[in-house]
Amino acid sequence: MNKPLPVTQPFLPPLEEFIPYLQQIWDSRWLTNGGRFHQELEAALAEYLGVKHLCLFNNGTVALVTALQCLRITGEVVTTPYSFVATAHSVLWNNLRPVFVDIDPRTFNLDPARIEPAITPATTAIMPVHCYGTPCDVDAIQRIADIYGLRVIYDAAHAFAVRRKGVSILEYGDLSVLSFHATKVFNTFEGGAIICPDAKTKQRVDYLKNFGFADEVTVVAPGINGKMNEVQSAFGLLQLRYVDEAIAHRLRIDARYREGLSGVSGIEIPQPLEDVSHNGSYFPVLVGPGYPLSRDALYDKLKTHGILARRYFYPLISDMPMYRGLPSATRENLPVAQRVAQQVLCLPIFSDLSESDQSRIIELVRGA
Ligand SMILES: *Cc1c(COP(=O)(O)O)cnc(C)c1O
């Protein structure tokens, strides 16, 4: 049998194009700490994404932890159970308490109508996720944040290059956090970034990601080591030249799935929102009771045929041992997230997915 087909695969530019970057790093002997490529990538990404201030990080999780530190969040943070574990872990790493709120059945994002009832005197922030790159209801969330005086930190790990009405989705909230992990649309092997609204905030984040050093002898905060190195930064610069092509390719695969799987009874394909430019980061479907197989049986069937679909996001974060004791983690509090976690299956989507492999996946899902 052929090599198993993963749910995603990193896009890699031609190796020979990376060699000159490595040569420059070797020549300069400058390996990290805000070198030339780090500076260039911050500027290039800010321009590409259409944001004013961006701070690179060595990964998205450290960026999330630092974003909460930066705003001095205390007490409780309202967040979603339907995400990658790093979202809630970053809250725990700051000694804060996550408060889980159910998701919207259409977007799989925090349901704004459920945020208000979850707010207590201890609440200081909301941490929503633009799940699969679908924008949250940023206007409704900001309205609630303004009324209650809360900060909003978006986990935008899936939302690279996503725009709504022509504006970057990363411009909303107090801070947004990206991940450039190998599995994401744009990657630097490992990496991440915080999008800041102004130069002052960027300055503070820059201190925090470098142990709190403001200059050689002044430490202004208990910072962390969140710096992206020169090899990663250089790779990002090269990768950025190809990212439009990679996203366009993903969107063609997205369109082919929609066509090939339309009308399959029991398979629900979430509809894209209006006025949103998508990035094709994931292709989730819901396997409902009308389908001849359960979600797990379809997952197993695809696996038998060498196709590694993934149950993102199952289990829910709120069902994991370090969270399930929280009052907000009960099944009754999170009925939509529970159902979606039981039904969701993410199908393979990446630039190098061949048309014939995709047809095989479509046939397997159709012909159950
Ligand atoms: C990938 C991801 C992260 C973590 O990013 P890393 O760069 O792997 O640390 C955080 N949140 C979500 C929703 C993610 O998908």
Express each pLDDT in 121-159 by its tens digit. Answer: 999 999 999 999 999 999 999 999 999 999 999 999 999
Give me ligand 1 centre to Cα 67, in Å: 14
Shortest-distance atom of ligand 1 to CA 183 = 1
In this predicted structure, the answer to whether residue 1 has a pLDDT above a threshold of 60 is no
Give me ligand 1 centre to Cα 74, in Å: 22
- What beta strand segments (E) does the chain contain? 53-57, 76-79, 97-100, 123-127, 151-155, 163-164, 167-168, 175-179, 192-196, 213-215, 218-219, 267-268, 276-277, 283-287, 344-347
Shortest-distance atom of ligand 1 to CA 64 = 10
Establish whether residue 79 lines the binding site of ligand 1, counting it when its CB lies within 6 angstroms of any ligand atom: no
Shortest-distance atom of ligand 1 to CA 60 = 7
Percent of the chain exceeding pLDDT 70 equals: 99
In this predicted structure, the answer to whether residue 187 has a pLDDT above a threshold of 70 is yes
Give me ligand 1 centre to Cα 87, in Å: 7
* Strand-pair partners of 99: 78
Establish whether residue 129 lines the binding site of ligand 1, counting it when its CB lies within 6 angstroms of any ligand atom: yes
Shortest-distance atom of ligand 1 to CA 158 = 15
* Pair type for strands 283-287 and 344-347: antiparallel
Establish whether residue 56 lines the binding site of ligand 1, counting it when its CB lies within 6 angstroms of any ligand atom: no
Position 262, amino acid: S
Count other Cβ atoms within 10 Å, centred on residue 112.
20
Tell me the two tokens of residue 105.
């059945």
Find where tokens 């206007």 sit. 139
Rounded mean pLDDT, 312-323: 97
Q: What is the pLDDT of residues 350-367, one digit of tens each?
A: 999 999 999 999 999 998
Q: Specify the CATH number of the domain 243-366.
A: 3.90.1150.10
Residues of the chain with CATH 3.40.640.10: 15-238
Q: What is the pLDDT of residues 258-307, one digit of tens each?
A: 999 999 999 999 999 999 999 999 999 999 999 999 999 999 999 999 99
Ligand 1 pocket: which of 7, 8, 57, 61 to mutate (most atoms <8 Å of CB)? Answer: 61
Residues of the chain with CATH 3.90.1150.10: 243-366
pTM of the model: 0.97
In this predicted structure, the answer to whether residue 315 has a pLDDT above a threshold of 70 is yes
Ligand 1 atom 6 nearest Cα: 60
User: How are strands ordered across the β-sheet holding 163-164?
Assistant: 167-168, 163-164, 276-277
Rounded mean pLDDT, 166-192: 97
Q: Which residues are catalytic?
A: 184
Contact call for residues 205 and 199 (beta carbons, < 8 A)? no
Q: What is the pLDDT of residues 215-266, one digit of tens each?
A: 999 999 999 999 999 999 999 999 999 999 999 999 999 999 999 999 999 9
By the 10 Å C-beta count (0-12 exposed, 13-18 middle, 19+ buried), 231 is classed as middle
* Pair type for strands 283-287 and 267-268: antiparallel
pLDDT band at 3 (very low <50, low <70, confident <90, very high): confident
Percent of the chain exceeding pLDDT 90 equals: 97
pLDDT computed for residue 98 by the predictor: 98
Q: Is residue 313 reached through a cis peptide bond, with omega within 30 degrees of 0 on the bond before it?
A: yes
Ligand 1 pocket: which of 109, 110, 155 to mutate (most atoms <8 Å of CB)? Answer: 155
Establish whether residue 282 lines the binding site of ligand 1, counting it when its CB lies within 6 angstroms of any ligand atom: no
Give me ligand 1 centre to Cα 191, in Å: 9
Give me ligand 1 centre to Cα 289, in Å: 31
Establish whether residue 87 lines the binding site of ligand 1, counting it when its CB lies within 6 angstroms of any ligand atom: yes
pLDDT band at 368 (very low <50, low <70, confident <90, very high): low
Q: Which of 250, 247, 262, 244 is nearest to 349 (CA)?
A: 250
Establish whether residue 187 lines the binding site of ligand 1, counting it when its CB lies within 6 angstroms of any ligand atom: no
Mean pLDDT of the chain: 97
Position 176, amino acid: S
Rounded mean pLDDT, 161-183: 97
pLDDT computed for residue 331 by the predictor: 97
Shortest-distance atom of ligand 1 to CA 59 = 7
Ligand 1 atom 8 nearest Cα: 181
Establish whether residue 226 lines the binding site of ligand 1, counting it when its CB lies within 6 angstroms of any ligand atom: no
Distance in angstroms (rounded) separating the CA atoms of residues 124 and 165: 29
Distance in angstroms (rounded) separating the CA atoms of residues 195 and 53: 6
pLDDT computed for residue 16 by the predictor: 97
pLDDT computed for residue 313 by the predictor: 95
Contact call for residues 357 and 298 (beta carbons, < 8 A)? no
Give me ligand 1 centre to Cα 81, in Å: 14
**Class level of CATH domain 15-238:** alpha beta
Rounded mean pLDDT, 336-342: 98
